[in-house]
Structure 1
Amino acid sequence: MWRTDKGGWSAGRRVPARLVAVGPVLRDVALWLLLSGVGLVWFLENDTASSALLDVVVPALVLAVAVPGSRKHPGAALLAVNGLCALGLVQGTSPANPYLLALAVSSYLLGAGSATTRTSLLAFGGSIAADLALCAALRVPLVWWFYVVTMVPAALLLPWLVGRYRQARAALVRDGWQRAMSLEQRQRAVAEEARLRERTRIAADMHDSLGHELSLIALRAGALELEPDLSDRHRADLTELRTAVSDAMDNLRDTIGVLRESTDPVSTAPTAESVEDLVHRAATSGVEVSLVREGAAPSLAPLVDRAVYRVVQESLTNATKHAPGSRVEVRIRHEAGVTEVRVVNSAPPGAASAGRGRRPTPGNRGLTGMRERVAVIGGTLRAGPRGDGFEVRATVPDRVSADRSHAAGGPARATGSASTRQLAVAQRRARLRFAAAFVVPAGVALTALPAAVVFAYQLSTCVLRPGVYESLRVGQERAEIQRRLPDRHFPYPTDDMRAAPRPSGATCAFYRSNGNLLEEVDVYRLCYAGSRLVAKDVLPGRSDGS
């Protein structure tokens, strides 16, 4: 069985469906081997009393289910992997374990997938709540709590934001290409419709022109039939000629009638109207328009004459529609077998509408029709802003040649459409998500960093060196030994340390035995009765008493 993959590197190729299905399986196997391998290496490199069953076998089985399950149920997979991270909380050595990497990978897959923000936040909240509840139930030391409120949220939020940005970026690219293709198809359809409408107008113009010529031929043939000195054979030929001309006129009229019925009705001026008549009619309607002819006016071919008329007509229509109140100048120059038509309009009066005369409305079919009309007779047309106004310039030959070019200008670029607005919204969302990928980590850092600094300062300023501790003697005056003690007491002794037996009536101070901030260390206790040291003890820092 074969399948055509249109979205990846094999676009346009036929690839086996089995290969398409094997790809995700290979990815899941590779990811499972990586995450499980990290846990195995951690177990082998750390000399702990933990069992291989809990630290290697059980996590490998959980990952074997969670990794492929992240495709359809990423939230549940994240909660399962968070359970592996919670195993570190029940250990006495350190809250950290290698499966924090697996939690970060699961969070990334959650963000890069189709899960909603609400589902993701619920999964994050459930994971952190479960970890905090476990800390409270086990009554773990302070370092364990600090790990849960800093490292676990960082492993959840940061990869998820990266995944969300990647998913938004991929969706933006995919939607952008789809909208671009849709716009191209729509533009081609609009341009083709405009060309067909213009060709129908050309056919109608030719009907009027050829109909007039054929009518004259038929009239001439009818007059010749009445000549008395014609022979019967010649008279019969003229009758046959007049009948053929009449039939041709009827066929032409029927054909053009069908073309006119198949298109939208358009308002056009009578074909007998000249450019001068058109400009005069526009001026009497209130348009400030002037006409200037340069050079001797030649006898133009009917198609060329109608093309000149059409350019002036459409340009006047666009000027009155998009720049009302502007001045319009029509300049027609005849030179060396070529006729150049220039129609320039100024900016409309008033600051509020100053930009309206610069270009036609996006998607306007008038320019496409003019280009088609000019191109079919071998001419060229250019249209664009000129100063504060707009200019249309057409150059056409006085006579239509057999090798004329049919290259018409393409449709104008569509702007301001619904697809463009949707693309702008998608781009704005992508930028916001990209910004969030930096803002959220910065917010987490600004929240956690001060707490970490204060915590580190407290732990580092309450360290009593072992040599100093060994030099202290029971019975010494407190004032004598105070100069050798740290400035601060250890502020977070466990409940077991506080409950340890002490001399009656004595007050005790606690000090850490070294400056390691990430491990539970032994704590020194000094007890005073009055002004004398009455007891000193070493209390184990681990909750299991080891």
Structure 2
Amino acid sequence: MPYLRMPPARRVCGDAALWGVLAAATGYGFRDAGASASPVWDLSLPLAVLAIAVPLSRRRPGTAVVLVNGLCALGMADPATPANAQVLSLAALSCLLGARVAAARRPLLVLSGCLALDLVTCAVLRTQAVWWFYALTVLPAALLLPWLAGRHRRGRRELVREGWRLARSLEERQHLVAERARLTERADIAADMHDSLGHVLSLVALRAGALELSPDLTDRDRADLADLRGTIADAVEQLRETVAVLHDPAGTEPGAGLPLTDTVEDLLARAVASGVPVRWERRGAMPVLSPLVRRGMYRAVQEALTNAVKHAPDGEIRVRISHEADRTRVNVVNTAPSGDRPVCAAEGPTIGAGGRGLTGLRERVTVLGGSLWTGPYQGGFRVTAVLPHQVAASPDTAASRPETPPALLGPGPGAAYPAPGTDTGTPDTGTPDTGTPDTGTPDTGTPESVARLASVRSAARRRSVAAFVAPAVAAAFFAAVYLAWQLTTSVLPPSRFDELPLGRPRAELAALLPDNAYPYPPDHARSAPQPPGTRCEFYRSGRDLLTEVDLYRLCWSGDTLATKDTVPASRPTAP
């Protein structure tokens, strides 16, 4: 059974709201047309066409405009008037055409075709000059002006989006520059240590070696001097390792100790050529990685291989590199060594990437915003590094996040799930494993440009809503106030109505009459028969604004009151 992809609820609600507005305009036009309107051609058909055109405007906005323009052309067949309510729908869909189509050539062809159809309709129907004027002014304005407004909105939106993308790029570059400055400072510290302390220790070791050759020393003194020289040599080696942690070659990126052309594939190929039993696989397409992340992945594989060869020289090694949407996972597992040799992978210095060991590897991964897990696994040892494709903005706080166990190796070549109760080398955090371990990036690492963009978008939405809602609310308020004023100033109390004598001039009755006549009498009151040659005015009989009240009708012959009567609030029913 084929899978049907449902559109998002927000899109469906937007289309439904637009259709509701256009359907309301269509219904109002049908009601205003009166008895001459056809329920099928003037109501049902436009509603059905709008129900198709509104959702179609997302994928084929040009076709939607053509459909609604057909309704406008059909409306020009009306012999009474060429205007119809579909002009509003045509303007709305033309605006969507400009907002949703970047190119201008095809929309202009659509608009030109619509205008040509309207003019051909006028020619075929042999309409009067008013219809030609409508087709040459109103319909082009409904097509072209909203389309230009939609294109302006689209261009402004793309300009703002591109500006924020540039700001985000500059912010990431600023973070990289700050990280380079920090690493440069560490290199300066390493150079000072090497030039001062390293030189002094070398001199001390040289003088101790010279004293061993003195003929005046006893054998015990020579043994003590040999031990002293060995201790100094160990101190020099430890200093060299410390300098290797802090120092990177000047003018290169951190971790640039490997050749620029050396890859993980080259590293694994050399290991296999050296007789190391390595099996490896790559999952996912190789993404475009920055040099920092690429070299971090190289160091993770190199250190894990070195650790496995040192502590389990005859054990099998499985390497898996999985590229996900925003991160790369490096998983290296070695089996248990043969015989009774225990698995040992201390966090101290090991031979490998610059002598830094797993501690140095953890520091490098953390600086990149990733996470590193190490520990026993099925009798052997596992090293898992998760590196983000983009360097984190605040890597210094990454280590403060609690670690969760990485996803276990899935079934594959040489891999198996751990048996129940097997120690994975990481403490249980009490949280379910979702298969995507925490990369160590804190929640506060969101780029400032992203937060600023969200704030500006929210403010823009509020201003847009206020720009439409505030005028509507103000118009409704003043309309309600004006209507209430008209209703309250056109009230003629029953007592005063009874006091009005017939045949008296208006000047004498002005004190009994309200300031204004009631301007909205119902149709049955307007159509009631009146004496010939008279002009009738209507007044409300009460001040109740929420219910309909009876009306008083005063008919004047010139300035003289000819007749007065009462008109019921509701239309009288026929017997």
What interval of TM-score do these two structures reach, taking the shorter chain for normalisation?
0.3 to 0.5
- Between the two structures, name the one with larger relative contact order (CA 8 Å, sep ≥ 6): 1
Give the TM-score, by structure 2 length: 0.40
